[in-house]
Structures are given as structure tokens and as C-alpha cells.
Structure 1
């Protein structure tokens, strides 16, 4: 079947469904709103004979696992896990200021690119496979996360549990410009650095220990760590109480990003061994949160090569790319599973007022996803 031609014919319906999802605003913090949007997706899939598993949540939207092909697969191979998320960064009411609209080959709207278009891809791919009566090589597990934007321990545990049972993982986050998909993502640690000195009157600074001076030195040292392409952002900082008092306490919260597990080990080792620079001062580093890197290991390289061949059969070029931000695919990759990310459409402006996706890519990536689900 010519999937490019087929999904081109479905483009109008795909846009219509995307508009429905975008207008059902679903910020991570608004459970009821997220649940309403998820229900719209589940309803679309219910007629395909899928098995629907709901994981109820109290603070965030419910999580969903949609199992397709449980009784009709060609092989006994482990399932394909398809990762999506329904939540967005946009608060309720944004749609009034940033309405859904088309302009040429661009589709605008809050959450359209990140990543409700990816959910539309998954739904239309499964519908197409079902309508064809095609038998897939593997079961297909579609996971709908409700708290990807902020992160959530329960959703991370669910993803990890599913990834351990999956044969491979596809993530429908937006693609990169020029047709690239994401085969690498930086890992991230958020660390709090606290420095403790001794208070004194500003007229006699030699009788005190300036905690802010200590903190500034520690941050400069951390920034000079010899890790290739590591980035450090000091996002929050505080210290002291009055201008005429030598500050006794100071702290900063930092975002560090890196490419490999070896980099992570080096960062952790450095933080454990931090020593004060000023004699008598104390320094403490505590890990606040952690996202593992998505590494382009052997299993993922083999999966990419197979996907590249399937893309070529559609007349599409698949290019390996990398991103400085994390995603749920990072969790699966950290467990050693072959992963491809960025299989959603190309576009620009994630988390920005000009967020939009490119229509040709929307159709092409849906056709590619369908081939991947059928052939892998």
C-alpha cells in the first residue's frame, strides 16, 4: 500500500482531530483537563479491539496503555512500545490568545507540535493497520503519559516497567529540522549547592567567612569540569541577609547536561568530593532530580539502520540527530532498549508562542510510523 498517498488523503481528518486535541487544553497541573483530552484519544481507539489499561492518578492525569494486536501477531517477538504524552506546558485559557489555525503548510496552536501531533500519528497509524486487516510482527503498546513536561515518579516507573518487556521503543516527540530524528539526548541533573560560612560585621570581614564568595568559587570550578559539551546553568541563587553583614549561608540550584553515562559518573564523583575553598567553610551538594542520557548504543544503531531502510522505501531520508533536552525515551534507552525518538513531525517553537508543525512532515512521519509498526 502507498502509505504516503493514503495519509495525504487523510490529512484533512488528521488536522481535524489535531484541532480537537489542541482545543482540549491539557496543562500537566490540571488533572481534569488532561483526563478529558486523554478520554478523547481513548474513545477514538476503543473500536479497534484494543485492550485499554488505565492507571489512575491523584495528582496528575491518569496514565493509559493501549495494547493492539494481542491476539494476532506474526511472531512471538517482544512488543513495540510507542511513547507519547498528552500534557502540555500551556495553561488553560491559552487557546483564546493562541488559537489553532493553518497558514500555508504550517499548523499553529499550543501543544500542536509538542506533542499532540504525535498522538494523532499513533491513532491514525493504528486505524490504518486495523482497516487493512494487516498482521503485525509484534504487539503494539501505545503509552500515553500525562506528566512528561514536569516529570513524575509514577509515570517514570510505568515507562521503565514497560520498556523492560518491550523489544524496541519508538517515541513520537517532534523531529529535528531537515528530516533528522533523535538518536541521542543529553542527560540532566539538577543539583543544589549550599555553602556555609561565618557571619560578621561588614567592617571586619576578616572575622567572618563569606558564604557567597565560597559559592561563587564552587560554581566556577564546577563550570570548568573537563567534560565535553557539558552545559551548566545556574538557575536559582540566594545568599546573605543584609549588605552590612558577611553572609553566613548561600545556595544555588544548577542544571547540568551531558551526553553519556560516563559523564554522569564523573559529575557524581566530583559532587561527592567537593571541598571548601575557604578554611573553616562548609559545602554541601545534593542531587534534586536526574534524567539519564539517551545514548546511541549498538542496539539503537541497528534499529536506526532498519528504520532508515524503511524510510527509503517511502522515498524519505532519515538522518540521525541529537538534542540537548530529555524525553521519556531516555528512560528506555538507559535500560539498554533500542530506541528511536523524534519520530513526530518537524516544526518550530516548542513552548513558544509561534509553536507550529509542518504539514508535509506530518503526513510523511505518519506514513513512516505505520511502516515501522508493520515491519519491525
Structure 2
């Protein structure tokens, strides 16, 4: 029987340094090259932990930890995204700043801190993956509705036994998120004429 490792207190300095690395790379959704720079850093972290890494269509990347073909147990899926709503140049007038143990700046909360927290948790597991392993899906376009990654997300969710999203809740509560409202885009076209009666 394989026991889970004992976890040490998180190294907040290391987490802050990793978050600074990601947040220093501006990655607005409309610039796929910039978003891919963030994804390259995260992929290096995944490879350092022994992940199988794959580039999917639309710029999406997937990292598999302890996932074996043909295994009876389905993996845990963790969803993340590398794009932000902040345009290029935001760091010039809103630079990263440290206040105690916290790092503030564009993209830090949504969702680069989630990526950093995830990878520090993966490092703490030290290769003791849960049954079925862990699949991490890193999307490049979540902030604009996931047009290129949606099919990959749906496929990965269908193949998983549980899905976790490491994006923060809307309010600054730091509570576990167990559901999320949906959104929809609709186009309405009206045609017609005026009816006159004699």
C-alpha cells in the first residue's frame, strides 16, 4: 500500500518567486505568442516533475502525471489558463508589488497564482500521484470564451473522474469553489414589416 507523503509548510518565498516569473510575462488573450511564453514556463515546470507533455490544437497544452494508457482508474483533471484580460503595457503603469507575503499585479489573482499553487502542490506530492494520475490542461483562451480550447476541455472532462479548477472565486473569500455560473452569447435578428389595415 502506497502512503501519501507528509507535506511541509509551503515555501511562500518560492511561490512568490514563481508567481513573479509568470506575472512578469504579459499574456493578453489576443496575443497568442505572449500567452505561449507563459505556457512554455509552465511546461518546463511540468517536465521537471516528469510529466508527459502534449501540445493540442488551438494552442492548448496538456500535462499528464502518472496517467497510464489502459489503466482502470480515470485521472483527476485540473483546468488552468495562461491568458489574462490585461493588455500589453499594463505592467508599466501597474507594476508588480509585494505587500508582506502577497504579490499584487495584473494577472496574479486570475489566474497565475492558481497555476503556481497547483505546481507547488504537485511538487509536494513527490511523484505519489493519486490512482489514475493527474491531467493538467492549460488553456490559452479562457478569458475570451475558450474558442480554441473548449473541445479539448470537454474531451478531457469526459475522460476524467473528477475535474478541479484552480481559478479563484469572484469574491476574495479564498473558499473552495464547487460551482460556477455559466455564460452565453446570443445573436438576435428581427425582420418584419408594418401591416396597414384599410
Mapping for residues 285-324 of structure 1, pairs under 5 Å: none
Question: Which residue does 2:142 correspond to in 1?
Answer: 148
Write the deviation string for residues 30-60 of structure 1: whole angstroms up to 9, x where unpaired: 1111111110111122122210011143xxx
Shift of 1:135: 4.5
Question: Which residue does 1:50 correspond to in 2?
Answer: 51
Instruction: Identify, as 1 or 2, the structure richer in strand.
Output: 1
Q: Supply the distance in 2 between the matched residues of 1:70 and 1:195 (Cα, whole angstroms).
A: 51
Q: Which has the higher contact order (CA 8 A, sep 6+)?
A: 2
Question: Which residue does 2:96 correspond to in 1?
Answer: 100
Q: Supply the distance in 2 between the matched residues of 1:178 and 1:151 (Cα, whole angstroms).
A: 24
Q: Supply the distance in 1 between the matched residues of 2:129 and 2:80 (Cα, whole angstroms).
A: 23
Shift of 1:151: 1.8
Shift of 1:190: 2.3
The total of aligned residue pairs comes to: 189
Q: Supply the distance in 1 between the matched residues of 2:103 and 2:32 (Cα, whole angstroms).
A: 26
SS at match of 1:82: strand
Distance 1:6 1:148, change over 3 A: same
Using the size of structure 2 for normalisation, the TM-score is 0.86
| Residue 81 (1) aligns with residue 77 (2) | yes
Question: Which residue does 1:6 correspond to in 2?
Answer: 9
Q: Supply the distance in 2 between the matched residues of 1:113 and 1:190 (Cα, whole angstroms).
A: 25
| Residue 185 (1) aligns with residue 180 (2) | yes
Shift of 1:85: 0.2
Q: Supply the distance in 1 between the matched residues of 2:136 and 2:129 (Cα, whole angstroms).
A: 17
Residue 66 of structure 1: which of 49, 63, 88 is its match? Answer: 63
Distance 1:2 1:49, change over 3 A: closer
Using the size of structure 1 for normalisation, the TM-score is 0.47
Q: Supply the distance in 2 between the matched residues of 1:12 and 1:180 (Cα, whole angstroms).
A: 23
Question: Tell me, which stretches of 5 or more residues in structure 2 are unaligned?
Answer: none
Q: Supply the distance in 2 between the matched residues of 1:171 and 1:35 (Cα, whole angstroms).
A: 20
Q: Supply the distance in 1 between the matched residues of 2:117 and 2:176 (Cα, whole angstroms).
A: 15
Distance 1:179 1:36, change over 3 A: closer
Mapping for residues 1-376 of structure 1, pairs under 5 Å: 3=7, 5-7=8-10, 10-57=11-58, 62-70=59-67, 76-130=72-126, 133-175=127-169, 176-196=171-191, 209=194
RMSD (CA atoms): 2.1
Q: Supply the distance in 1 between the matched residues of 2:173 and 2:151 (Cα, whole angstroms).
A: 34
Distance 1:187 1:101, change over 3 A: same
Shift of 1:194: 3.3
2:91/2:106 contact within 8 Å kept? yes
Q: Supply the distance in 2 between the matched residues of 1:194 and 1:104 (Cα, whole angstroms).
A: 53
